[in-house]
C-alpha cells in the first residue's frame, strides 16, 4: 500500500487537499483508504451509555458497532500508525496530519512563514491555501487542489511509495539512515524504496490471523537467536526452514 500525508496548519485547506486526492485517485481506479488525525480532546464516535458503549465498558476491545449503513470498529485509546494499517486493505493511503510519520508529505500553509516551519526533506509539494494564491515556493511544486486537482493527483502517483516500517533509528538503520532521512533520499532519487532492507531480512516472520507483522531487524534478531538456542537442543534439529505454530488462546 502506497501512502502520502497532508500536513499543515489549521484552516489552510488540508482536508480539501485530501478530498481532491481521494476522489481523483478513486476516479483512476485506485482503492483508497484515509486516516484523519483529530486533536479535539473530546472526540468520540461513540455515545456514552449506548449499547455498544456498554459492551466496551464491560471489557470488550475492540467493539464492532454494526448499523445498516455504517460499521464502526471502536477502541478507546489512540492506536499507533502501525496498528491502524494492519486493518487497512487498499492501494493508497492518504493521511491528514501525523507529521511525525516517515512518508512523502504535501504541506499546507497560508504564508511562506508557515511553509518554512513545515518544510523538510520529506516534503514533495505545497498545496492548500498558499497554493490557491501563489504558484512559487522555492524548488517545490506549488499546486492548488481547487484549480489543478488532476495535476496534484499525477504528482502523488509519481512520488508516493509503499509505507515504510516506521521504526526508531535505534531499532533499525540498516539503510544507513533513519526512516525520515530515507524518505528524503527516495524523493531526491538517491535511493529506491526497495532498498529499505528491514522487510527483506526475513529470517523470522510472524503472522497473526493471516496478517504478517512487521518485524524490525532488532526484534528479528532477538527472536531468531532465542528460537535457535532452544531448538538446537532438540533431537532431529537441522538447518532449513522451520515452522512453529503458537496459540495463545489456550493460555
Which listed residue (26, 197, 213, 242) binds ligand SF4 by CB under 6 A? 197
**Contact window for ligand SF4 (CB under 6 A) among 42-50, 58-66, 106-114, 159-167:** 159-167
Residue 173, interface with ligand SF4 (CB under 6 A)?
A: yes
CA dist 124 and 248 (Å) reads 44
Could you give the residue ranges of the DSSP H alpha helices within the chain?
14-27, 51-57, 81-85, 112-118, 129-133, 149-159, 179-187, 217-231
All three cell numbers of 29, joined, read 481506479
Residue 164, interface with ligand SF4 (CB under 6 A)?
A: yes
CA 206 to each of CA 22, 188, 239: distance values in angstroms, whole numbers, following the listed order: 32, 33, 19
Closer residue to ligand SF4, CB minimum distance, 152 or 164? 164
CA dist 161 and 116 (Å) reads 24
Residue at grid coordinates 518554512? 116
Closer residue to ligand SF4, CB minimum distance, 55 or 174? 174
Which listed residue (167, 184, 215, 220) binds ligand SF4 by CB under 6 A? 167
Helix axes 14-27, 149-159, angle to 10 degrees: 80
CB of 108 to ligand SF4, least distance (A): 25
Residue 215, interface with ligand SF4 (CB under 6 A)?
A: no
Alpha-carbon torsion (90, 211, 83, 184), positive or negative: negative
Number of residues that bind ligand SF4 (CB under 6 A): 13
Residue 65, interface with ligand SF4 (CB under 6 A)?
A: no
Residue at grid coordinates 522451520? 242
**Contact window for ligand SF4 (CB under 6 A) among 27-35, 61-69, 150-158, 165-173:** 165-173
Residue 172, interface with ligand SF4 (CB under 6 A)?
A: yes
Q: Say if residue 62 is preceded by a cis peptide, omega within 30 of 0.
A: yes
Closer residue to ligand SF4, CB minimum distance, 153 or 167? 167
Residue 101, interface with ligand SF4 (CB under 6 A)?
A: no
Chain-centroid distance, C-alpha 83: 9
CB of 91 to ligand SF4, least distance (A): 21
Closer residue to ligand SF4, CB minimum distance, 22 or 185? 185
DSSP state of 140: B
Residue 175, interface with ligand SF4 (CB under 6 A)?
A: yes
Residue 214, interface with ligand SF4 (CB under 6 A)?
A: no
Residue 182, interface with ligand SF4 (CB under 6 A)?
A: yes
CA dist 197 and 4 (Å) reads 20
* Residues of this chain that bind ligand SF4 (CB under 6 A): 164-165, 167, 172-175, 178-179, 182, 196-198
Amino acid at each position: 500500500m502506497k501512502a502520502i500525508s497532508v500536513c499543515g496548519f489549521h484552516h489552510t485547506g488540508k482536508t480539501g487537499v485530501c478530498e481532491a486526492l481521494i476522489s481523483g485517485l478513486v476516479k483512476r481506479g485506485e482503492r483508497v483508504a484515509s486516516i484523519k488525525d483529530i486533536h479535539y480532546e473530546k472526540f468520540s464516535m461513540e455515545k456514552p451509555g449506548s449499547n455498544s458503549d456498554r459492551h466496551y465498558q464491560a471489557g470488550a476491545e475492540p467493539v464492532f458497532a454494526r448499523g445498516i449503513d455504517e460499521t464502526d470498529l471502536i477502541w478507546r485509546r489512540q492506536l499507533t500508525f502501525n496498528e491502524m494499517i494492519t486493518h487497512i486493505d487498499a492501494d493508497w493511503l492518504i493521511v491528514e496530519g501525523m507529521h511525525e510519520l516517515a512518508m512523502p508529505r504535501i504541506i499546507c500553509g497560508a504564508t511562506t512563514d508557515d511553509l518554512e516551519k513545515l518544510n523538510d526533506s520529506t516534503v514533495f509539494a505545497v498545496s492548500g491555501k498558499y497554493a490557491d494564491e501563489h504558484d512559487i515556493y522555492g524548488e517545490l511544486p506549488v499546486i492548488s487542489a481547487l484549480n489543478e486537482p488532476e495535476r496534484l493527483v499525477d504528482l502523488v502517483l509519481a512520488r508516493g511509495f509503499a509505507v515504510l516500517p516506521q521504526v526508531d533509528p535505534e531499532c533499525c538503520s540498516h539503510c544507513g539512515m533513519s526512516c525520515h532521512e530515507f524518505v528524503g533520499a527516495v524523493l531526491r532519487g538517491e535511493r529506491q524504496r526497495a532498498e529499505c532492507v528491514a522487510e527483506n531480512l526475513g529470517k523470522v516472520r510472524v503472522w497473526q490471523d493471516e496478517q504478517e507483522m512487521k518485524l524490525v531487524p532488532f526484534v528479528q534478531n532477538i527472536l531468531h537467536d532465542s528460537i535457535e538456542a532452544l531448538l538446537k537442543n532438540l533431537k532431529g534439529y537441522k538447518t532449513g526452514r522451520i515452522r512453529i505454530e503458537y496459540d495463545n488462546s489456550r493460555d
